[in-house]
């Protein structure tokens, strides 16, 4: 089914809202605006590449979890699960919209020391207080439920199999775009090369194709390039692209049950991927910022890092065959690994939806709804996203999220 056509030039000279970036975040905002009967403005989404081949969205592993350290991130995850499980309803009840589900193989954090176990215990108490199904588990309990792990060095784990696992985020995005377009949102494949400013406001957007358009409000949903767009308005944001590696593989002897998304003490994570498996990790040495177009692999990332860790933790994975591999970019917030959302403190019509540090796909529904409410009503009505405001950076305050994979 053809979900959308690709246009390159805006049809008009003025829009009430322009959204820079049409992937998960930009299209979540656009679709919530479009489907809100209280919003009647014109919306333009400007996306550099409508295939999303090199966007964080295109490289996402499409995972969902509630095992976060902050209340607000847990609540965001819970709304995300509600959105996925009620996707057709959120899309206006159109019977053509597919029902989405979460493959609940769960998340399992493994701890090999007492200090991290105490961190997991504190986080589990927070998650449980908010209704998440997280449980602390002993090595014996892990072995009983998942006998394929080697657990000699493990002292405890944190496990949740309720609304934690994998879901079909690409289908969500396609239908958000389709519904947004059906309700009047315009998408163009183009690139923003400059912003026009006047009296502490963004008044215009200049496109690479030569057009200039007037805007009432501007949303920065540019992913790892968020700093580039913010700089055009004289704003600095602590967001940079960082590489993350993903491999999919098949095992000669597949496991006899679903593999939870397992966060190994080494920082490597792996999970079920259909009938096969997926493994991901950050770079081998450090975690430096990279160029926007740097999607290269480090030499030895598989042989020296991933393969030995997989075989050690799950001996059945000593004999596997790589199916596919890719590099994606986190839009990493170096300030506190949390989102920056809402209006700028001085440039009031400049809105952020940036800095998700690897959590963007699962957080997009909550962020899209929240920002659409802020644009429409001038306030958050469903979830209070004010802890993510840009002003915390100006005050020198951090909202640290420990549970970053």
> What confidence score (pLDDT) does residue 358 get?
81
- pLDDT band, very low/low/confident/very high, at 60 (cuts 50, 70, 90): confident
Residue 235 pLDDT greater than 90, yes or no:
yes
Q: Are 131 and 123 in contact (CB under 8 A)?
A: no
Q: Kindly state the average pLDDT of the residues 158-171.
A: 95
Percent of the chain with pLDDT over 70: 99
Q: Kindly state the average pLDDT of the residues 13-40.
A: 97
Claim to verify: residue 157 and residue 245 sit in the same structural domain:
yes
Burial (CB count <10 Å: 0-12, 13-18, 19+), residue 291: exposed
d(CA 259, CA 38): 44
> What confidence score (pLDDT) does residue 2 get?
45
Residue 4 pLDDT greater than 60, yes or no:
no
Span 253-274, pLDDT tens digits: 999 999 999 999 999 999 999 9
CA angle, 380 then 385 then 391, to 5°: 110
Q: Assess if residue 386 is contained within a domain.
A: yes
Identify the domain boundary among 331, 357, 382: 331
Mean pLDDT value across the chain: 95
Which pairing describes strands 43-47 and 14-20: parallel, antiparallel, or unpaired? Answer: parallel
Claim to verify: residue 217 and residue 347 sit in the same structural domain:
yes
Q: Assess if residue 70 is contained within a domain.
A: no
Total number of domains constituting the chain: 2
d(CA 199, CA 207): 22
- Tell me which residue has tokens 């999970």: 271
Identify the domain boundary among 331, 347, 376: 331
> What confidence score (pLDDT) does residue 333 get?
95
**Residue 321: Cβ within 10 Å count:** 9
From residue 69, how far is each of 74, 316, 360, 399, 404 by CA, in Å? 8, 32, 16, 10, 9
Claim to verify: residue 173 and residue 161 sit in the same structural domain:
no
Q: Kindly state the average pLDDT of the residues 193-205.
A: 97
Q: Kindly state the average pLDDT of the residues 39-48.
A: 97
> What confidence score (pLDDT) does residue 13 get?
97
295: closest CA among 59, 6, 90? Answer: 59
Q: Kindly state the average pLDDT of the residues 106-129.
A: 97
Query: What's the CATH number where 196 sits?
Result: 3.50.50.60
> What confidence score (pLDDT) does residue 151 get?
98
Q: Kindly state the average pLDDT of the residues 88-111.
A: 96
Claim to verify: residue 324 and residue 352 sit in the same structural domain:
no
Could you list the residue range(s) of the whole structural domain that residue 255 is in? 103-165+241-331
Residue 1 pLDDT greater than 80, yes or no:
no
Q: Assess if residue 71 is contained within a domain.
A: no
Claim to verify: residue 261 and residue 320 sit in the same structural domain:
yes
> What confidence score (pLDDT) does residue 196 get?
98
């Amino acid at each position: 089914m053809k979900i959308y056509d690709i246009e390159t030039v805006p049809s008009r000279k003025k829009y009430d809202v322009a959204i820079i970036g049409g992937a998960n975040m930009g299209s979540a905002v656009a679709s919530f605006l479009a489907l809100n009967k209280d919003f009647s403005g014109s919306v333009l989404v400007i996306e550099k590449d409508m295939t999303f081949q090199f966007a964080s969205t295109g490289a996402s592993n499409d995972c969902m979890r509630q095992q976060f350290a902050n209340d607000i991130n847990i609540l965001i995850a819970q709304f995300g699960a509600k959105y996925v499980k009620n996707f057709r309803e959120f899309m206006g009840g159109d019977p053509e919209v597919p029902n989405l589900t979460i493959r609940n193989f769960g998340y399992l954090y493994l701890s090999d020391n007492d200090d991290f176990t105490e961190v997991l215990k504190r986080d589990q108490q927070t998650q449980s207080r908010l209704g998440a199904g997280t449980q602390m588990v002993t090595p014996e309990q892990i072995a009983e439920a998942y006998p394929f792990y080697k657990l000699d060095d493990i002292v405890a784990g944190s496990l949740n199999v309720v609304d934690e696992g994998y879901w079909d985020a690409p289908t969500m995005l396609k239908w958000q775009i389709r519904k947004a377009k059906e309700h009047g949102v315009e998408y163009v494949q183009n690139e923003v090369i400059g912003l026009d400013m006047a009296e502490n406001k963004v008044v215009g957007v200049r496109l690479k194709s030569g057009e200039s358009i007037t805007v009432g409000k501007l949303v920065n949903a540019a992913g790892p390039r968020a700093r580039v767009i913010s700089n055009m308005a004289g704003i600095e944001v602590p967001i940079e692209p960082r590489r993350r590696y993903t491999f999919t593989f098949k095992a000669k002897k597949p496991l006899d049950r679903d593999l939870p998304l397992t966060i190994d003490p080494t920082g490597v994570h792996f999970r079920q991927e259909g009938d096969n498996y997926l493994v991901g990790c950050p770079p081998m040495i450090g975690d430096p910022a990279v160029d926007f177009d740097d999607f290269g692999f480090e030499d030895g990332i598989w042989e020296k890092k991933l393969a030995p860790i997989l075989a050690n933790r799950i001996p059945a994975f000593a004999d596997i065959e790589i199916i596919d591999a890719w590099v994606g970019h986190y839009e990493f917030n170096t300030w506190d690994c949390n989102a920056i959302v809402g209006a700028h403190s001085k440039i009031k019509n400049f809105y952020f939806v940036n800095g998700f540090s690897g959590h963007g796909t699962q957080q997009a529904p909550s962020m899209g709804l929240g920002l659409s409410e802020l644009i429409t009503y001038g306030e958050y009505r469903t979830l209070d996203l004010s802890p993510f405001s840009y002003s915390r950076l100006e005050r020198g305050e951090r909202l640290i999220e420990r549970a970053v994979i």
